[in-house]
């Protein structure tokens, strides 16, 4: 089986996340032209700091982008397909300043923690109800 090129992996990751080159460029400080060259394998010696920035945006490990592993084990994010609303949220997020993104990240974590806690509470109460039913 033929190994995917770095460019193919980058193009696929961007496509399944519904991001444009402009979207990715805003977050990574990589120009649209350079991203194009990465995705078309015109530039194959990509600096490590750029690989790390792209991995962060795509929520994968740099080793996946480099092709050193065939499956990104950090998440099943490479198969993630976003609906229109999720894409709109991502685009809005990418248009924010770094400070505002940090606020959104903090609030998202707060809501996720709250949801996890609520899930634990409902599981605990269900278990208690079952025990005394």
**Whether the Cβ atoms of residue 11 and residue 36 lie closer than 8 Å to each other:** no
Q: Are residues 113 and 60 in the same domain?
A: no
Tell whether 86 and 30 lie within a shared domain: yes
Same domain for 77 and 105, yes or no, is: no
* Cα 81 → chain centroid: 11
Does residue 89 contact residue 107 with C-beta atoms inside 8 Å? no
Give tens-digit pLDDT for 71-91. Answer: 654 545 545 556 777 778 888
The number of CA neighbours under 13 Å toward the Cβ of 4 is 18
> What domain count does the chain have?
2
pTM of model > 0.75: no
**76 close to 17: Cβ distance less than 8 angstroms:** no
pLDDT tens, position by position, 13-35:
999 888 999 999 999 999 999 99
Which CATH number characterizes residue 64's domain? 1.10.260.40
Domain that holds residue 77: 1-95
Looking at the fold, whether 61 and 119 belong to one and the same domain comes out as no
Place of tokens 């190994």: 3
Distance CA 24, CA 117 (A): 33
């Amino acid at each position: 089986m033929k190994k995917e090129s770095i460019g193919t992996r980058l193009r696929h990751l961007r496509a399944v996340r519904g991001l444009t080159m402009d979207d990715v460029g805003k977050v990574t400080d990589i120009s649209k032209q350079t991203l194009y060259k990465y995705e078309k394998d015109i530039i194959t010696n990509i600096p490590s700091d750029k690989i790390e920035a792209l991995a962060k945006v795509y929520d994968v490990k740099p080793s996946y982008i480099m092709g050193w592993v065939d499956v990104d084990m950090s998440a099943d994010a490479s198969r993630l397909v976003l609906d229109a609303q999720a894409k709109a949220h991502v685009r809005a997020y990418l248009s924010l300043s770094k400070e505002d993104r940090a606020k959104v990240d903090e609030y998202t974590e707060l809501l996720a923690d709250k949801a996890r806690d609520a899930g634990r509470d409902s599981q605990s109460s269900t278990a208690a109800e079952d025990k005394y039913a």
